[in-house]
Chain A
C-alpha cells in the first residue's frame, strides 16, 4: 500500500513534534536554593540531593543563586525557576503572588520534625542596654527569621519595637550571627539550628519563637510537568535514612511530604516589612 506511506510518515512526524513541543519532562531543572549562607556553602548543602536526582531520574540541576529572597520569588513567577527551596515567609509571599506553585517536600530539622524556630542571639560577654537603641542583625526582608520573626521576638521578649531600633539585613542567617559576633550588632535574628551551630564561639540564644512550618521545595507547575513533579517528590520521599544522614547541612535530617496548609499560620502583612535596613 504505497499510497499510505506518505500520510503515515507525516502523522508520525507530527506526533513526535507535538509531543516534544508540549512536554514539560525536562532533563535539566533550574533550581534556586534559599541564600541562608554564602553562595558556595548554600549550594554545597544541595549538591548531594541534586546528584541523587541525577542518578535516580537522570535530571541535571542548574543552580540559580540569588542573594535576595525577593529576586527568587520574582524569577519563579517569571518561569525562570522550576524548583525553589523556600522558607515559610518567601513561600507565603510567592503563594500570594503566583498560583501555579506546588510545595512538594518539606525538610526535617535535626530533631526529626519538619518545624523549626527562629531565635535571637548575642555574644555572651556583651551586655544589653535596653535604654539605648539596639543594633539588630537581620537576615533578609522576606526571611521568616528576618524582620518578621525578629520583630515579634523582640516585642514578646523585651517589649521592644524593632522599627525603632537600628537594624540591617546581612542577607544570610550566618552573616547575621557573625556580624553580631564581630561586634557590629548586639543581637542577631536567625534560624535556631544555624544559631546553635555558632555556640562554640560564645553565642547564646536569648529568645525563641514558636515552631514554624519548615523549609520546602516548591515546584513551578507552569514549567514542570506533573509527572516530573511527582517523580522528584517520590524520589526524595523514598530516600533511606542512611543516605540523607550522610549529607551535610539542611537536608541531612530527611524529608516529609509538604502540606501547603501548614503555611496558613504565617499571618503576615508584607507591607509592614521594610526591605532596607535603617543603618546609614
Chain B
C-alpha cells in the first residue's frame, strides 16, 4: 500500500514538476522574447548611430582631402624640421580649431591627425599632447597607414577609447598620414536616447581597450566596473556619462541585484550580448548588455541599457496566476490524494482488522456458503431464479430432477413455457404483481411437462434485492395431491359410512359425519353446536354415562354400546369408541366418537334373549347374564335379590280359559313385572311356563319385601278372572325372594335353588304370598 501511495505521490510530483518546468520555460521564453526584442531594438539603434557617424566621417574626410591648405600643411609637415613642425602643427590647429568646435557639437570627441609614420600629429581634444607613436598599439592607425584603407570600429586609445573612423590621407599620390574622427559614447548614447528617452545607458569598457591602452597618467580616468571581471567605466568624478548614473539609486540597486545573480558572471565573462530581466520594487526592468566589438571584431565593451518595461510585470503577473493555479491544483491534488490515501489506509486498516478478527467469520461464511450450496444441491425443493421474462437464470439439481429436465433443456425454455396452459395468465399476473408485492407464498401451480404428465408445484416467490430477478422455491406436491385425493375419497367414504362425531369438552357437537346424520335423522346444521344429549336415550341409565365420562375425563378411551334416540323418536344402537382429541400442545380439546350401527345386531340379540310372548328376557338370557350379574355384585360388594314368581294355578287357568287366554295372562303379568323392573339394574325374565324371575339390587330387607308384595298386589290388581284358582277369584302369584350379601353367594345355581325353595314354601303356605330370606349381616 505504501509503495502504491508513494508511486502516486511520485507521479503527482513528477507531473507537477513537468508542468512547473513547462511554465518556467514558457515564462522564460516570454521574457527572453521581450528581452531579445529589447536587445534587438538597442542593437539596431546602435548600428544606426554608428553608421550615422560613419557617413558624417566619410563626408568630413572628403572635405579634408579637398582642403588645399590642410594638404599643404601636411605635405610640409612630412619634410619639416622639429621646430618647423611645431609651427605647422599650430597652423593646422588654427585651420581646424573652429571646425573641431563644430564637430564637438555633433558628438565628435577626438579629431586626430596622424603622421604617415603612425605618430600623433595633432590631437584637437588635447592639442599639447602629440608626437607619441601609435602605429604599434593602434590597429586602426596601422591599417590606415600601411594598408591605406579606412577603418571603422570601437577602439581604445592613449587618451580615450571611442568609436573610430579612420581614413588614410593620400594627396597627389603622397601618403601624408591619416585622419581620425572618434565619437564618444555620449554621442552614440544621445542618438539611442533620442529613440528611447526613458532608458539609461552605460558603457563598461574591456580593460584591454581602456585601462591597459591609455597613457599611464591617464589611467585614473577609469575606475573598475561594478561588475568587475576586467571591465572599467569612465571615472564617475570625471565623466559626464558616468556621473549621470552615479547617484541613480535605481541603477545602483539593479546593478547590485544582477551582480548577485548566479549566472551573471558566466554570461558577463562570455563577452557576448545578453539580457537580464529583473523585477525590482514592483517595476520591471530589462538590462541589455550589448557587446561592442572593436575594429578586429573582438569584444571591447558592453553597452548596458537599463530599460524599465512594464510588460515584464504583466508577464510576471500572468505567470503568478498560472503558478498560483498550478500550486493550488497540485496542492488540491496532493490534499485529495492524501485524504484518499488516508481513507484507503483507514479502510485497509479496517479491512485488515476485519480480516484478522473475522477469519473465523469468513470461514463461517465459507462454511455457510458450502452449507447453502449443499442445501441447494441436496434439498428436495427446487430453487430457481428467473428474470421478469421468466427466463431461467439459476436452478438447482433438485429442480432439474423435479422436472426431469436437463440443464440444456431448461436453458432453452422459460418458466412460463412450462406452466400449464390453464394457469399461464395467472402466473404472468403474478410476475407483474411481484414487482410491487415483492413476495407470494404457497401458491399451487400446475406444470405441464408433456401432454400426459402434469406436475403440481407449491411455490413461493420473492423479489430479489436487485429488483430485477425473482427467486422461486418450488416443492413437488403431486404425490401429496394424489394422497390428499385418496384421503378425501376415504374421508368422504368415512363420512358417508362411518358414524362419527366430535364434541368439545362440554359435549357440544363440533363435527358429525353424513353417516351420523343419516342414522340420527338430523341434519348437520341441526346437530352442530348442540349438546350430544340431543340423541340421548332417556332410558339409558345415568350410570352408563357416568362411567363413560369417568373414563374419557381421565383421557382414556371409552368403548361401549349405547342406544340413541333418533329425531323421529325411534332408537338405534351403536357400538362406539370415544377417545380424547388433542391440540398441537397436547392439550385435550374435545372428544371424537366413532360409532358402529349395531341396531340390527341388537335386534337379533334382543330377539334371541327375549321371550317371544311376553317380550321380556327369556331363560336363555337369564342363564347367560345371571352369573355375570353375580360377579358384578361381588366386585361391587352389593346386595342382590333374586325373586322367582309363579302364577298360581295357571294350569287350571289354561284348562279353564284356554291357552290363548293363558298366553294373555302371561303377557299381562309380564307387563307388570317389566314395569316393576324398570330400573337399569333390574332384570325381568320368563324363566319358563308361568314362572318369572326378577333380579334387582337390594337396598334393604324392608324395601325388598315391600317391592315383592307390591308386585303381587299389582298382579292381583290386574283382576284377571281365574275361576280355577283355589286361593283367589283373580289371577295371583306366589313369590320366593332370596336376597343375599356378596360374601354369602356361592354361585347362581345355589341362589336359584334357595329362591326356588322359598317359592315352594310360599306355595306351600297358601300361595299368593311372598316367602323371603335375607343374608345375615356381618
Contact = CB atoms under 8 A, between A and B. Distances in A.
A6 interface: no
B220 A51 contact: yes
B73 to A, nearest CB: 12
Interface stretch (A81-89, A215-223, A241-249): A241-249
B289 to A, nearest CB: 26
Given A124-B87, A181-B90, A182-B94, A47 B128 contact: no
A181 B238 contact: no
Contact of A178 (B97, B131, B215, B221): B97
B91 A125 contact: yes
Interface string B209-241: 000000111101100000000000001011110
B415 interface: no
Interface in A241-266: 246-249, 252
Contacts of B93: 178, 181-182, 201
B127 A47 contact: no
A125 B215 CA distance: 31
A100 interface: no
B246 to A, nearest CB: 11
Contacts of A203: 90
Which of under 10, 10 to 19, 20 to 34, or 35 or more describes the interface residues of B?
A: 20 to 34
B237 A181 contact: no
B97 A125 contact: no
Contacts of B130: 200-201
A41 B98 CA distance: 21
A44 interface: yes
Interface string B235-254: 10111100000000000000
B239 A197 contact: no
A40 interface: yes
A79 interface: no
B86 interface: yes
A40 B217 contact: no
A56 interface: no
Tell me whether chain A's interface is mostly helix, strand or loop, or mixed: helix
Contacts of B235: 44, 47
Contacts of B217: 246-249, 252
B221 A201 contact: no
A276 B220 CA distance: 35
Contact of A181 (B88, B97, B216, B221): B97
Nearest to A183: B94
Tell me whether chain B's interface is mostly helix, strand or loop, or mixed: helix
Nearest to A62: B237
B112 interface: no
Contacts of B563: none
A40 B239 contact: yes
B173 to A, nearest CB: 28
B722 interface: no
Contact of A201 (B127, B215, B216): B127
Which of under 10, 10 to 19, 20 to 34, or 35 or more describes the interface residues of A?
A: 20 to 34
B89 interface: yes
Nearest to A194: B128
A277 interface: no
The winner among B98, B128, B218 for most chain A CB atoms within 10 A is B128
A43 B239 CA distance: 10
A166 interface: no
Contacts of A51: 220
A71 B597 CA distance: 170
Contacts of B87: 123-125, 202
B13 to A, nearest CB: 53
Nearest to B217: A248
Interface in A15-72: 39-40, 43-44, 47-48, 50-51, 61, 63
Nearest to B101: A182
A43 B238 contact: yes
B81 to A, nearest CB: 12
Contact of A200 (B89, B98, B220): B89
Contacts of A182: 93-94, 97-98
A123 B90 contact: yes
A199 B86 contact: yes
A226 interface: no
A131 B236 CA distance: 50
Contacts of B221: 40, 44, 47
A47 B220 contact: yes
A48 B220 contact: yes
Nearest to A61: B237
A110 interface: no
Contacts of A95: none
Contacts of B237: 43, 47, 50, 61, 63
A200 B216 contact: no
Nearest to A201: B90
Given A51-B220, A248-B218, A200 B131 contact: yes
A198 interface: yes
Contact of A44 (B88, B98, B238, B240): B238
Contacts of A197: 128
Contacts of A50: 237
Contacts of A201: 86, 89-90, 93, 122, 127-128, 130
A12 B240 CA distance: 46
A44 B239 CA distance: 10
Nearest to B122: A201
The winner among B98, B216, B220 for most chain A CB atoms within 10 A is B220
Given A50-B237, A182-B97, 16 more contacts: A39-B238, A40-B221, A44-B238, A47-B220, A47-B235, A47-B238, A123-B90, A181-B94, A182-B94, A183-B97, A197-B128, A201-B86, A201-B89, A202-B86, A202-B89, A247-B217
25 contacts: A39-B238, A43-B237, A43-B238, A44-B221, A47-B238, A48-B220, A50-B237, A123-B90, A123-B94, A124-B86, A124-B87, A181-B90, A181-B93, A181-B127, A182-B94, A182-B97, A182-B98, A198-B127, A200-B128, A201-B86, A202-B86, A202-B91, A248-B218, A248-B220, A252-B217
Which 3 residue pairs across A and B have the least CB separation, nearest first? A248-B217, A202-B90, A202-B87
